[in-house]
Structure 1
Amino acid sequence: MSFGYDSNIIYSDTAEVTQGSLESDARSLCALLSAERSTPDSKDQPIILVAHSLGGLVCTEAIVLGERNATGDSVQSIAKRVNGIVFLGTPFAGLNLAKWGDIIRAIFNVVRKTD
C-alpha cells in the first residue's frame, strides 16, 4: 500500500493553503491502514513501514500518537502492530538550511502565500 500527503508549500490561491500537520497526516495514515486491515486475517499481521523524507516523520508521529491514545483507537491499534520502519532520508535532526528556508518563505509571503 502507498500513502500520500500534501507536501506542497506554495499555492496560487491563498484559500487553498492547507493547515495540515504531522499529527493530522499520521492520523490519516492510521485510518487508511486500519481500513485496509479490516479482515480478521489481516488485523494481527505485523506492519513494516518504508518511509522517505517527511514520510518518516509522519510514521514516527503515528507511533508516538499510538502510545498516547486510548485502547481501541485506530492510531493505537496500528501503532502497536508496527514491527519495523525503514527510514530513507528522514530529517530527524532538521536541516542546517532550515533557517534560510524561513527567511525565504517570509520574503516570498509578500508575493504568494506559503505553507
Structure 2
Amino acid sequence: MASNLARKSNWEDHGKLRKNISGAGQMADEHSREAWARATAHHIVDGALAASERSGGKLPSPDQIALLREIARRALWHIPNSRDEVRKLVKYLDIENLRQPNPFDDDAPGG
C-alpha cells in the first residue's frame, strides 16, 4: 500500500514536471522537426534533380524546372492551410532574394 502511494506521488510529480517543461520541449521538438524536414527535403529535391539531369545545356534545364514545379505543387496540395504556407514561402523567398541575387537574373552590377 505504501509503495502504491509512492508510485502515485512519483507519477503526479512527473506530470507536474512534464507540464512545466513541456513548453521548452515543444520548442525543441519543433526545431528538430524543422531541421529534419529541411535536410530530408534537400535529399529529395537533389535526388530528383540528379535523376532528371540531361547531358549538356544550361542548368536548370526546362525538364528540371517542370519537375521542381510539380514537386512543389504536389507538396502544397497535401499541406493543410496551403494558402497561408504559400504566403509564408513568398515572404521567405523575397527576403532570400534580397540576400542572394539569382544568377540567372540581370547581369551583376559592374559586370
TM-score, with normalisation over the residues of structure 1? Answer: 0.31
More helix by share: 2
Q: Larger Cα Rg: Structure 1 or Structure 2?
A: 2
More strand by share: 1
TM-score, with normalisation over the residues of structure 2? Answer: 0.31
Of structures 1 and 2, the one scoring higher in RCO (CA 8 A, sep 6+) is 1
